[in-house]
Amino acid sequence: MTFPVANLRGFDMAISIPARDLSACVDQGLNGLSHFYPQASLPTANWVLGARAEELGIAPVGQQSANASCQLLRCADGWLALNLARDSDWQLLGAWLQTDTPAGDWDTLQMALNQQSGQLLQARGREMGLPLAFVDGPGLVEVSSLRLDHQCTTDSQTTAARSLAGARVVDLSALWAGPLCAHLLHACGAAVTVVSSTQRPDGARQGSPLLYDQLHAGHEHLVLDFEDAQQCQQLALLLTNADVVIEASRPRALLGLGLNREALAVTRPQIWLGITAYGRAEPAGHWVGFGDDVAAAAQLLQWDELYQPSFVGDAVADPLTGTFAALAVADALARGLSGRLDLSMHSVAAACRYKIQQAGQALACPIAGNHDLRRQ
């Protein structure tokens, strides 16, 4: 059965208005939330974009990302944004480069890439699960290429407008975009339960503990063993009774556990938000992406007069997506919609790049200076 795709007018307006810079993009998303919940205590755009960088004292340096896990590497036909945030990513490099001598550091890796095709390496790397993006040079984002796949595939039922006040939100996500979305929904009145796995704890808890605590302040925490049938049953009941579910895994991950929305056969009004790197449709549905490499794929880069790229901000696709995901949820609830709401980091980042482009502005790094926690 094919269900209609709903139009989220409040979201559409915020995501399409030209903006002078990334902070203005976030402000537009936060202003959209304030329209629905004027009494909400929402953070500032500077905090949204720069809290992690300020906590850790980091900033992007040329072709190196703020957290140093992602590098922009020259290849024969352009540049590759390669994000080696996990030990397993480094272990894949030998097979990725098809060499018996895997690169153990960035300098060796750059030498190996000089004469290779970035487009071919991107295709091979994505098949292997490496987070990377090929960029052939500075370019404009064409409006025809924007896939604002903020699709709310609605159930046959719609309801009266629903509110986040007292709504039950179950957050299955980790790292930054999903938790930021949950943080903003909580600020609008929702009760949030964060569910994490004993097998795969959220790396942000160790990597940026202050931001982790700020994002999850006031949330209930539940740690479950996803390999235990009884605990999976407990999670299934929690998901079935939620008003909003946030998940940020690749589509097949929850499907393998039988915990996706379709398998649970949810009948109550519910928004199931799925945040992905590049969307749910194959082949992009299995591509891995993090904030810096996805931002590069969306042309959220600075270019100098020698056509050398550099990163803008700290993993900016994450906080941009978290902000607009919260707005999309609020908009869908206000329209009485129920169903799956899909949002990709790439589509949000590309839309924000287009907003700045339409304003005729150059990209600038948004993480300098002090960052107040709350808006005045």
Q: What is the mean pLDDT of residues 71-89?
A: 96
Residue pointed to by tokens 């607009």? 324
Per-residue pLDDT at 102: 67
The answer to whether 226 touches 204, Cβ cutoff 8 Å, is no
Domains belonging to the chain, first-starting first, are 5-61+142-284+312-358 (3.40.50.10540)
Per-residue pLDDT at 65: 97
pLDDT digits (tens, 9 = 90+) for 145-185: 444 445 555 555 567 899 999 999 999 999 999 999 999 99
Residue 1 pLDDT class (50, 70, 90 cuts): very low
Amino acid at residue number 188: C
* Measured distance CA(260)–CA(239) in Å, rounded: 9
- CB count, 10 Å around CB of 198? 12
Hey, which residues does 301 pair with through a beta bridge?
A: 311
* Measured distance CA(345)–CA(215) in Å, rounded: 19
Amino acid at residue number 249: S
Residue pointed to by tokens 């998940």? 247
* Measured distance CA(127)–CA(271) in Å, rounded: 31
pLDDT digits (tens, 9 = 90+) for 22-50: 999 999 999 999 999 999 999 999 999 99
* Measured distance CA(139)–CA(357) in Å, rounded: 10
Classified as helix, coil or strand, 20 is: coil
**Angle, vertex CA 369, rays to CA 291 and CA 55, nearest 5:** 55
Classified as helix, coil or strand, 245 is: strand
Of 165-174, 259-268, 282-291, minimum mean pLDDT range: 259-268
Per-residue pLDDT at 147: 47
Inform me whether the pLDDT recorded for 2 exceeds 60. Answer: no
The answer to whether 13 touches 33, Cβ cutoff 8 Å, is no
Tell me what the pLDDT averaged over the chain comes to. Answer: 88
